[in-house]
Structure formats: structure tokens, C-alpha cells
Structure 1
Amino acid sequence: MNTTRAPDARIRAAFDEAGVTGYLHAVDIDSDVQDSATQISVGADSLVATSSVHKLCLLVTLYRQAADGLLDLTEQIESPGDARTGGPTGLAAMLDPVRMSMRDLAYLMMSVSDNAAADLLFQRVGLAAVNDAMTALGLTRTLATQTVGELFATIAEDTGQAGVRALADPQVVARLRALDPSRTNRGTPRDMTRLLTAIWRDRACPPEHCAALRRILGLQVWPHRLASGFPFDDVHVSGKTGSLPTVRNEIGVVEYPDGGRYAVAVFTRAASTAATLPAADAVIGTAARIAVEALRAP
């Protein structure tokens, strides 16, 4: 790839090569001036379906309520084995009843994107509280409209009797409400980097709670998207992925040993309906690296 081209052009070319439509915002967390030297934008104000990235909004709301004394993060919540939101990880994939604290549910929700854990916390906190918290933090275009279970219920309705098999049909995928930002949980890349910046600058909630949020984000297990662009032992990547049919997202913070800290949000939609698209996953890391390297350039 021609490194003499502007970073936004290189990012668009990378998206095209990977067969995705992509949107990105990257920002130097420690800069108080937002200009072309401190941020990179590729459709940064476009509305996108956030998918599981929205779990970060729920996490921040949970810790803000704890800071305000509205809940106790060590409170134990019962999760019956026969009434959970489904999914491939965490409690969502387990069979037996579980009793767990809210802060441990939050860890599962973020580290392995546990849908059941997320919905237990949604039930405790409420969608309205999540939206109020995001508005208070200046995320004016970010909105939670449904729980994870409700989101997947729309997919089941939209695919009909064919079920999962229908997701190979582009016409079926095109009509999924879960992929339409006007009808599902939504936000913008710029809003997401604003939220990450608030967490890393101790503005999302009190410092001790922001430190807990950073710890949880640093424990995500998936290395194949954002982190793939920074395969260095001394560079730390914290993040949250989001996935739906044709949708692959990740937002996160890249921290360098010299103290540089960069918030990055990448949202993509693939042309192919294939469930496994390594190039579509990898381009999230590629685009993030191009953006961060441009921000770090003299």
C-alpha cells in the first residue's frame, strides 16, 4: 500500500480491498484540540449498528450508578439455567443456574461478549438509564433501543422459518432490522471515541471506577480484529468487539510505552454474507494501525 497517500485514503483503500464498507474515527486521547493532527476520520459521524459494542455503554452506566450509590457492584444476581439470552460464550452457553455479582457479570459481558450477562445487567439498570448516561457524557447520537435478547428476537422474526440458514441469502440479510441503524442500537464512531476518551481521562465516572472500566476492557480475549494491527509486546490494546451477520466492529484504546494513548472506533459491513471472513476481521486492525501511525507521525 502506498504510504505517501493521506491516511483516510489508505484506510478507504484497505476497506475496499477487504470487501467491506467501513467507518472509522481515531483520536489522540490526551489532546484537547481536535483537528487533522489529532484525529483521523472516515465517515466518523455516520450512524452505525453498534451490535455488542453497545455493551460498553451499559458497562459505563452500571459503574456510574454504583458511584452514585444507586447499586452495589457486589450484589449477587441469580441466573436460572432455563431463562437466559442465548449465545456462544459465558453464561449464555451454560446450562445450570448461576449466582454471580454484578461486577463479575460485567466482566463476562465485556471479556467474552456474554449476551446473558449483558441482559441480566440491562434488567437491573434499564435502557432509559443507559441512554441518559450517554446523553450526559455528550454522546448525542448514541441510543439503546433494545436488549440483546430483543435484538436477536428481531433476527428470528426477520429470517422466518428458514432460521439461521436464511442468513446466507443477501436479500434476507438486507432486511434485518438488527442491521438498520434507524431500528436498532446505534451510535457513531466519533461518539464511541468520545466515550473511550472519557473513560481514559477519568471523566466517565470517578477515577477509581474509570480504572475498573479500563481493567475490564483490557481483559477482552479476542485478538483477531483491533489488536491484530498492533502485534507488539509493549503496545497494549483494550477493546470491545461487536458482531452480527455481515457486521464486524471494534472500538478500543491503543497505548504505547512512551505514554501515547489513542482511542479508535471501527465499524464495518461486509458485502459477503459468509460467517467467516478473515480479511474483514483483519482490516479492522489494519485501518486502526494506519490511523494511529498517522496520529503518531511528526
Structure 2
Amino acid sequence: MERLHTKIQTLLAQYSCRSAVIVRNESTGNALAINPAMVFPAASMIKIPIMIEVMRQAAAGKLPLAKTVAITSQMQTGGAGILKELQPGIKMTVAELVTLMIILSDNTATNVLIDLAGMAAINAAITGLGLRSTVLQRKMMDFAAAKAGRENLTSAADLARLFAGIAGSTPAVPPPYNAMMLDILKRQQIRDKLPFYLPAEVIIAHKTGTLAGAEHDGGILFAPGGPYIICVLTAELTANYEGLQLVAMIGKIIYEYIA
């Protein structure tokens, strides 16, 4: 992957932001890593370990996926998602909340799931999964907590470890639940970063993240000779559109190299 590494480094040199990139062929083990352990504000990438812990509890019978929750006005929060736009009182299953948390990055669904699974349990799962830089310290849209230093954090190495598990190498939950997570990630609706320049028929199971000055994307690209684990994190962007362009171009470069 030396040629791919060089192309990505050349592109990154055109930007002043912090960045990290991992590309790994799960079939061959060939990989490149740029700043894999660098810590970033997690943004919505933190929703991956939340999903994993919810599925772990579901598999253990502690949090049934069929359990319903009435979404009250007190639960509705701003930012990404659709639940904030719906009439309070609508009932959602845990499975539906997980789906909305991932495919639309719904913040209301995320906060409800944090309450259901428990922040301490989610962080215990993060530790148990061997993640070194990832921590859940606040709910979505709690900017007061972030300002006070309680930011959600992660790294490309940690995310790559999670996606590799979902891809099947070291699953964190029983196969049916792991397959469900993979299926949800494949139905991602936010496609303005890694998949932006990819042909429509290419399958990528992924999750994005956005904060002021940060744009992330990561997941599993299904391509000949793969699958490939890809994680791209950025921070300290001058403007977020630059991050969108950068991550999208990295996705294009990776796909052209693979193809």
C-alpha cells in the first residue's frame, strides 16, 4: 500500500487540519496507518460503541430490541435526526432507535439509548473491547459538558478495531446481532464523505461524524480482494466544507487504488 500511502499523504499536505487515516485489507492484513492513535473529538462516531453495547445487552436479554419507548418532548433534542420533528409521544422500539441513531445519526435516539443502556455500561464495554482512546462523557448536544472538558473522544485505531469486529474478525456480540449491526451500517443515509465519489453499486457499511471543525467517516468497504476497513478523522478544520472535501477525496483515492 505504499503508493496509496503516498497519495493520501500528498492530499493531506494540502490541508492544515489534524487528521488520521487507516486503511486495512481484512483478507490480506495489508494496511496503512497515519496517526492511528491520535485522539479526536468523537462526534457521532461514538454511536458505534453505543450500538455495540445495546446489542450486547439485547443478546443477554437485558434490553430487548422489541422494547418500546414513548419519545416525550423532554427527550427530544436538537442537531441531527428526525425524532425531534415528530409529535411527542410516538413509540419506538429499541431496534428502531438503534437504526435511526446510525442511518440518520439521530441525536434524540442516541440519548434515549444512552439512558437505556447506561453510560457506565457503555464505557465498561469500551474498555472491555480493548479501546485505548475512546470514552463517552456526555450526551449528544450537551455543549456545556463539552465546554467543561467532558468531551466524547476516540481514535482511528479504536474505530478500526470496532469495524473489524463488525466485519466478522472478532465480533463483540453473537452473530445474529453482529449481522444486524452490519445491515444497519449498510443502510447509512449520510453519504457526503467516504462514499461521495464511489459508484452507486459499491457497498460501504459506515458511520459519519460532524462537529464544528471536525468531519469523520469510517466503516467497511466491500470491494474485490477485501473487505477493507477505512477510518478517516479530521479536526481543527478552518471550515467544515474542507473536511467534507478531504474525506470524500480520500474515499475516491482509496477506491481507485483498490479498483
The reply to whether residue 125 of structure 1 matches residue 107 of structure 2 is no
Q: Is the 8 A contact 1:26 1:292 kept in 2?
A: no
The CA deviation at 1:281 is 0.5
Report what 1:240 is aligned to.
207
Q: Is the 8 A contact 1:12 1:22 kept in 2?
A: no
Report what 1:281 is aligned to.
244
Q: Is the 8 A contact 2:79 2:141 kept in 1?
A: no
Report what 2:173 is aligned to.
205
Structure with a larger share of its residues in helix: 1
For structure 2, list consecutive stretches of 5 or more residues without a partner in the other structure: none
For structure 1, list consecutive stretches of 5 or more residues without a partner in the other structure: 159-175, 178-182
Report what 1:24 is aligned to.
21
Distance 2:43 2:225 in 1: 31
Cα deviation digits, residues 167-186 of structure 1 (max 9, x gap) = xxxxxxxxx85xxxxx4111
Report what 1:260 is aligned to.
226
Cα deviation digits, residues 74-100 of structure 1 (max 9, x gap) = 100111124422224211333432211
The reply to whether residue 109 of structure 1 matches residue 101 of structure 2 is yes
Report what 2:144 is aligned to.
153
Q: Secondary structure at the match of 1:263?
A: strand
Distance 2:137 2:126 in 1: 13
Q: In structure 2, what residue type is equivalent to 1:29?
A: E
The reply to whether residue 54 of structure 1 matches residue 46 of structure 2 is yes
Q: Is the 8 A contact 2:25 2:228 kept in 1?
A: yes
Distance 2:138 2:75 in 1: 18
- Report the CA distance shift for 1:86/1:291 in structure 2 as closer, same or farther (over 3 A): same
Distance 2:24 2:230 in 1: 7
1:192 to 159, 173, 193: 159
The CA deviation at 1:288 is 3.6
Report what 2:85 is aligned to.
93
Aligned Cα root-mean-square deviation (Å): 2.3
- Report the CA distance shift for 1:191/1:259 in structure 2 as closer, same or farther (over 3 A): same
Larger CA deviation: 135-144 vs 45-54: 135-144
- Report the CA distance shift for 1:93/1:19 in structure 2 as closer, same or farther (over 3 A): farther
Runs of 4+ in 1 over 4 A off after TM superposition: 291-294
Cα deviation digits, residues 181-206 of structure 1 (max 9, x gap) = xx411121011011001011161211
Give the number of aligned pairs. 258
Q: Is the 8 A contact 1:139 1:191 kept in 2?
A: yes
2:69 to 57, 74, 77: 77
Q: What's the TM-score, normalizing by structure 1?
A: 0.79
Q: What's the TM-score, normalizing by structure 2?
A: 0.90
Cα deviation digits, residues 131-150 of structure 1 (max 9, x gap) = 22122222132211112143
Q: Secondary structure at the match of 1:196?
A: helix
Distance 1:14 1:26 in 2: 15
Q: Is the 8 A contact 1:22 1:266 kept in 2?
A: yes
Larger Rg: 1
Identity of aligned residues (%): 25
Q: Secondary structure at the match of 1:227?
A: coil
The CA deviation at 1:10 is 2.4
Distance 2:2 2:167 in 1: 31
- Report the CA distance shift for 1:46/1:67 in structure 2 as closer, same or farther (over 3 A): same
